[in-house]
Structure 1
Amino acid sequence: MKFTDGFWQLRPGVTALYGQEAYDIDETDAATDGRGVVVTAPTTVIRGRGDTLNRPVLTVTLSSPLEGVVRVRVAHHEGGTWHGGFGLPGAVAGGVGEASVSAEGGVLTSGALTARVAPGAPWDLAFEVDGVRVTGSGHKSEAYVQLDGDAQVDPGIVGNARAGTAVPHRPTFVHEQLDLGVGELIYGLGERFGPLVKNGQTVDVWNADGGTSSEQAYKNVPFYLSSRGYGVLVNDPGHVSFEIGSESVERVQFSVPGEVLEYFVIAGPTPKDVLGRYTALTGRPPVVPAWSYGLWLSTSFTTDYDEQTVTSFIDEMAARELPVSVFHFDCFWMREFNWCDFEWDPRVFPDPDGMLARLHEKDLRVCVWINPYIAQRSPLFAEAAAQGFLVKRADGSVWQWDLWQAGMGLVDFTNPDATAWFQSKLQRLIDQGVDCFKTDFGERIPLEVDYFDGSDPSRMHNLYTQLYNRAVHDVLVKARGEGDAVLFARSATTGGQAMPVHWGGDSTSTFPSMAETLRGGLSLAFSGFAYWSHDIGGFEGTPDAAVFKRWTAFGLLGSHSRFHGSQSYRVPWQFDEEAVDVTRVFTKLKMRLMPYLHRLGVEAPETGVPLMRPMALEFPGDPAVAYLDRQYMLGPDLLVAPVFTASGEVEFYLPEGTWTSLITGERVEGGRWIRETHGFLSLPLYVRPGAVLPWGARDDRPDYDYLQDLTLRVFPGAEGTASVTVTTPDGRTESFEVDRAEVTE
């Protein structure tokens, strides 16, 4: 949200009270984080006693909940309502910072990160990583902002206007601005489908169901990562507005409504270090089951299907040697107008128990679609309403609307009994043979409602998805065990990375949408999410054969892979016979890569580093990769450049060293841009110089014994010894020391 009118003036209707100086600096025992520094920042420079009268102040408190992390709390009125931040499972009780105050000001040190407040005017709060200043809050950076009724801040419509879930107008805000250095680039802020580098953008953190071709996002995360070796998390699940060099071009501004703003500065120095600390604070992903890495095949959304249709797809995939691991039933496994009643539609699935048993006999896992809404026609609506399990309006009536399912209500997951009730419906499906759930929606969350626990609806709008996905993930963990629980979720916010997997939402079936889907995944990776998927071929419309084949190669070179669409089936022979060949080649390739991919998934809970990595995350010292969002690293050793053209032309960048094509074996010198033309059975897939790639012996399934007949493929380009670790699906781990001089490829 923009408050200023150029460099000198404010917009009409805007009053801003800036913290002008550090008047008093004291040590304090912060309520949550132990020893810290508290600063009184008057909104004018105090030159005499009279200046202290009728003068608002900002109270700025510094503390540290975790090594390498500094919490900054900026408050106008401390007694004002603050709806609280995110759950922080990694925060250390009592804090970890070392604070001191002297004539030079206040200092808080936590690991490699130091925050310094200079005494007097002008206001100056600096952040240093390993002794080097990386950013800071300077003159006219911290402000309490008031808007009158005619304020021309032009926030626009943020969120789904038609759904009535747009951001409400607020009269007061607190904002901070942190310095943006020359050449400094900003990444992250959730799964956003525009340019990967966020400089110059306005980003509103407010979950919405807008598709991948819009400025809206399903997964909004108020965390960004800087190329200068630090990250920032705004600790507010509500509406956070970012101006990334788009209002004050020398700064990143973030603002929240109300009286209090809280944020964390997170030390690097490398991008992986930042993500490691960020996910240690907000939650790390669990290990997901090996079977989930295999190909997921879907009924698609509005297509006609029954058990005979499903069986014909599965049998034909097997006949064509196309390995499938999971079959997904989308919405119409339940009867129309009943979503969700968690009952198989008896008109098309008269024997669900037998059908699920027959699918399991084919060595398949089963996923079913759900959402957190209960339609009025569902028998469960009256049951939930009578017990107070649905979100209510202020007058005590059940909140309902007709957008999506007629008369639907919303499960109130702030009510423990409602959560247990919802989970009981899922448990019955698990007992029946369902293995996992696609947790769709979670973004269209209303504001004019009352929650069971009294939560602020503005806070719950983004946070609702967390409670929804947690309820589903927990029941799977309880039923299946820690290592066998997996979701296919659309919505998320900070902390959602702890309940994987997430997919990219509703894309169109075109090359531009394929590219924007990749940008969303890379942005989400920079936001701390280790696993990610998308609808191969696009969701809206039917892709032509070229789009489907190019998207299939791309989709099978990620952590999770699913064929899914809206109005048409996504089995490859519906497109052409070459699409069958493409599916076979890249599915089998992924199965061979499972020792490598699964080990990355074992490491992610330990490091917070995602499987799919933006080039700037893996090569932060190479300026050529800073803006790259058309290629990525799959783990540390595989470079993937999807083809976004029907002609097969693709331009990509190889960092320095000798790279090897995994498909052709050709060795190519990097440090340069390369233009190639690829047939549908190929794409630029290069192995990093000196990599040792564990290569599995099977290409028909993802969950096999990776150690049996394992091959260690040694690629040229580096010297010395490499250590390679392989972990099997049942948890057995073995490490190997490999002499890189013994090149095998």
Structure 2
Amino acid sequence: MTNNYLSIRLKKSWNKLIVAIPFLLSFNAMFAQNTTIIIKNGEYWYGGAVNEAHTMPFKDGYTFDLFANTGTNQASPLLLSTKGRYIWSDEPFKFTINGNQLIISDDSQALDIDSTGRDLKDAFSNASKKHFTTKDKLPDTLLFSRPQYNTWIELVYNQNQTDILKYANDIVANGFPTGVLMIDDNWADYYGRFDFRKDRFSNATAMVDSLHKMGFKVMLWISPFVSPDTEVYRELLAKKLLLYSADQKEKNNWDKAVNPAIISWWNGYSAVLDFTNPQAKAWFKSRLDHMVSTYHLDGFKFDAGDADFYPRDAISFKKATPNDHSRLWGEIGLDYPLNEYRAMWKMAGQPLVQRLRDKQHTWADLQKLIPHITVAGLLGYNFTCPDMIGGGEYGSFIGRDKLDEELVVRSAQCSALMPMMQFSVAPWRVLSKDNQALVKQAVIIRAKHTAYIMQLAKQSATTGQPIVRSMEYQFPAQGYAEVKSQFMLGDKLLVAPALDKNRVKTIYLPKGKWRDDRGKTIKGPTKIAQDVPLNRLPVFELVSK
């Protein structure tokens, strides 16, 4: 046994105490119920679930179980530290912070605990090279180069041809650039039926053709669910392409299973396709291709697919955990460069677009965008879109006579220099002319930096490095581990949007010479308080180190 390698294997009923040593290369803990890692002085940990990122770095008492739980957003069996360590497992696990201990439990597979790095960037680089190498492919670049528009907040469940075309025409009429337009939920007669409903779409092909002529590419919302007691449901049940309930006469016997699993989700109760069965995947893809060829669609918004929705004891064609089912849902999008996901498991490094989960129309949720999108990058989900500008959780819009216009403006500014920006609520409907002009100004700021964003996206597809980075990632060991109010776009631009109604913002500038968006040069390291009127998005360029 050398000084830089330690491997301990204990029986399943034992507990293990791991004391990290400086040059530990790797640690494989197999058949262990609990694994305890001693947290070093000044060491901070991140990872697991993107939607928990505002709680990171993890504090004493924090716990999260990744099994059957992606946190309603992206997740990965990966934890990373500011001291260059990472923890990876091929399967979900539970982790808890207890004082100076990080306890991993319920791990059914070998843990890879690597301590060869020096900082957070090293931890990410080492983990990505070993466990989720990039594929050198990008999603459709229109998702980066132009704003996106989603019909959800304006139409909710009343998706229809007339209002979709009106929304698109209003985008152009109000001076916003065309880009990707997403048609959201309730365009079909029921889930599992892949044709536009005739009562709301008189000629869906002509609608999509019109949108193309206007300069849009068109995506369509889909899910893996199938409405029970419908024609398609009966067809799929007869072909054994659905997931089965554990409530069967013969337990765990797929051949003799007859009772489908009925899943409870936000739109009621549905059966769900079993993508461990190649025939189910082939059937689903044939329906998507039918939508492309018949209605001239360009891609799909793949919603749901959360591990949380899949029963832990469901019977499938091939044995699979809820997390496996979520990953298989992610694999389908690889056939469509124009894609978007809101839930994901262990698909880092792939050319898949991820969106942060629906945020409420509140300042508290706006403040979650930066930590969430930077942790998404740490987990290898680099092609990530913040939530819809102003918020995408439609329940927070119900009963409001008037939106907080300042919040909508600040939301647009916060999104402007992230990898993508997506509108849903129509600025021209909810904002004054002056505030609408400020939102358009945020779009113009993005256009100014689009070439740099595209450069970073291409580099990310090759190197795996995040497009958007936390301060600790880019400037390790300088005291920025808990800074969540600003981010780095690549290694050149520091973006510090206002995230509350306070017009004075505290900004942290690391070592180097910085030039702000007003032309002022500032020497770092320093902490400054700057005036941020509603018409300003603070951006600092690193002129020299």
Report TM bin, short chain.
Answer: 0.7 to 0.9
Q: Out of 120, 139, 161, which is 1:288 matched to?
A: 139
Counterpart of 2:290, as a letter, is: R
For 1:570 and 1:329, how far apart are their aligned partners in 2? Answer: 14
Counterpart of 1:659, as a letter, is: W
Deviation at 1:463, TM superposition (A): 2.3
Q: Out of 324, 336, 359, which is 1:463 matched to?
A: 324
Q: TM-score, normalised by structure 2?
A: 0.87
Counterpart of 2:524, as a letter, is: G
Asked if the contact 1:283–1:495 (Cα under 8 Å) also holds between the matched residues in 2, the reply is no
For 1:224 and 1:202, how far apart are their aligned partners in 2? Answer: 13
For 2:208 and 2:27, how far apart are their aligned partners in 1? Answer: 58
Is 1:558–2:457 an aligned residue pair?
no
Deviation at 1:123, TM superposition (A): 7.3
1:41-96 deviation line (CA, Å, top 9, x unaligned)? 6xxxxxxxxxxxxxxxx26xxxxxxxxxxxxxxx569xxxxxxxxxxxxxxxxxxx
1:262 is aligned to 111
Asked if the contact 2:91–2:107 (Cα under 8 Å) also holds between the matched residues in 1, the reply is no
Counterpart of 1:330, as a letter, is: D
Asked if the contact 1:196–1:522 (Cα under 8 Å) also holds between the matched residues in 2, the reply is no
> SS of 1:356's equivalent?
helix
Q: How many residues align?
A: 514
Asked if the contact 2:341–2:355 (Cα under 8 Å) also holds between the matched residues in 1, the reply is yes
Q: Out of 238, 244, 262, which is 1:400 matched to?
A: 262
Asked if the contact 1:221–1:527 (Cα under 8 Å) also holds between the matched residues in 2, the reply is yes
2:400 is aligned to none
Is 1:549–2:388 an aligned residue pair?
no
1:449 is aligned to 314
> SS of 1:680's equivalent?
coil
Q: Out of 45, 66, 69, which is 1:205 matched to?
A: 66
Asked if the contact 1:266–1:278 (Cα under 8 Å) also holds between the matched residues in 2, the reply is no
Is 1:220–2:104 an aligned residue pair?
no
Is 1:661–2:516 an aligned residue pair?
yes
Change (3 A) 1:231 1:317: same
For 2:124 and 2:204, how far apart are their aligned partners in 1? Answer: 43
Q: TM-score, normalised by structure 1?
A: 0.65
Deviation at 1:550, TM superposition (A): 0.4
Q: Out of 27, 37, 41, which is 1:182 matched to?
A: 41
Is 1:381–2:240 an aligned residue pair?
no
Q: Out of 526, 535, 543, which is 1:681 matched to?
A: 535
Asked if the contact 1:658–1:689 (Cα under 8 Å) also holds between the matched residues in 2, the reply is yes
Deviation at 1:596, TM superposition (A): 0.8
Is 1:439–2:288 an aligned residue pair?
no
Deviation at 1:435, TM superposition (A): 1.4
Deviation at 1:310, TM superposition (A): 2.2
1:569-591 deviation line (CA, Å, top 9, x unaligned)? 43444222233212221212212
For 2:286 and 2:504, how far apart are their aligned partners in 1? Answer: 52
Change (3 A) 1:124 1:346: closer
1:527 is aligned to 379
For 2:520 and 2:371, how far apart are their aligned partners in 1? Answer: 28
1:7 is aligned to none
Structure ranking higher on relative contact order (CA contacts 8 Å, 6+ apart)? 2
> SS of 2:262's equivalent?
coil
Counterpart of 1:187, as a letter, is: Y
> SS of 1:593's equivalent?
helix
Is 1:279–2:133 an aligned residue pair?
no
Counterpart of 2:390, as a letter, is: G
Q: Which runs of 5+ in 1 are unaligned?
A: 1-24, 27-35, 42-57, 60-74, 78-121, 145-172, 210-215, 477-484, 691-717, 719-745
1:707 is aligned to none
For 1:464 and 1:621, how far apart are their aligned partners in 2? Answer: 39
1:341 is aligned to 193
For 1:197 and 1:491, how far apart are their aligned partners in 2? Answer: 22
Deviation at 1:615, TM superposition (A): 0.5
2:254 is aligned to none
2:85 is aligned to 230
Q: Which runs of 5+ in 2 are unaligned?
A: 249-256, 398-402
1:537 is aligned to 390
Counterpart of 2:194, as a letter, is: F
Deviation at 1:433, TM superposition (A): 1.7
For 1:276 and 1:486, how far apart are their aligned partners in 2? Answer: 27
CA-atom RMSD in angstroms: 2.7
Asked if the contact 1:374–1:410 (Cα under 8 Å) also holds between the matched residues in 2, the reply is yes
Aligned sequence identity (%): 20
Counterpart of 2:304, as a letter, is: F
Deviation at 1:208, TM superposition (A): 4.5
Deviation at 1:526, TM superposition (A): 1.9
Counterpart of 1:310, as a letter, is: I
For 1:401 and 1:136, how far apart are their aligned partners in 2? Answer: 39
Which is richer in helix?
Answer: 2
Q: Out of 503, 515, 531, which is 1:648 matched to?
A: 503
Asked if the contact 1:326–1:364 (Cα under 8 Å) also holds between the matched residues in 2, the reply is yes
1:258-304 deviation line (CA, Å, top 9, x unaligned)? 6x543342632343333233223223263223211121111115254
For 1:573 and 1:133, how far apart are their aligned partners in 2? Answer: 58
Q: Out of 280, 291, 300, which is 2:152 matched to?
A: 300
1:676-695 deviation line (CA, Å, top 9, x unaligned)? 232222121111123xxxxx
1:606-643 deviation line (CA, Å, top 9, x unaligned)? 221111100100001312x1211111101111111121
Is 1:489–2:349 an aligned residue pair?
no
What does residue range 612-631 of structure 1 map to in structure 2 within 5 Å? Answer: 612-623=468-479, 625-631=480-486
> SS of 1:554's equivalent?
helix
Counterpart of 1:383, as a letter, is: E
For 2:81 and 2:264, how far apart are their aligned partners in 1? Answer: 42
Which is richer in strand?
Answer: 1
1:69 is aligned to none
Is 1:427–2:282 an aligned residue pair?
no
Deviation at 1:377, TM superposition (A): 5.1
Deviation at 1:125, TM superposition (A): 6.8
For 1:355 and 1:208, how far apart are their aligned partners in 2? Answer: 38
Is 1:241–2:94 an aligned residue pair?
yes
For 1:407 and 1:228, how far apart are their aligned partners in 2? Answer: 46
Change (3 A) 1:635 1:378: farther
Counterpart of 2:457, as a letter, is: G
Q: Out of 157, 163, 173, which is 1:319 matched to?
A: 173
Q: Out of 583, 587, 591, which is 2:447 matched to?
A: 591
1:324-346 deviation line (CA, Å, top 9, x unaligned)? 301111102223xx123222121
> SS of 2:88's equivalent?
strand
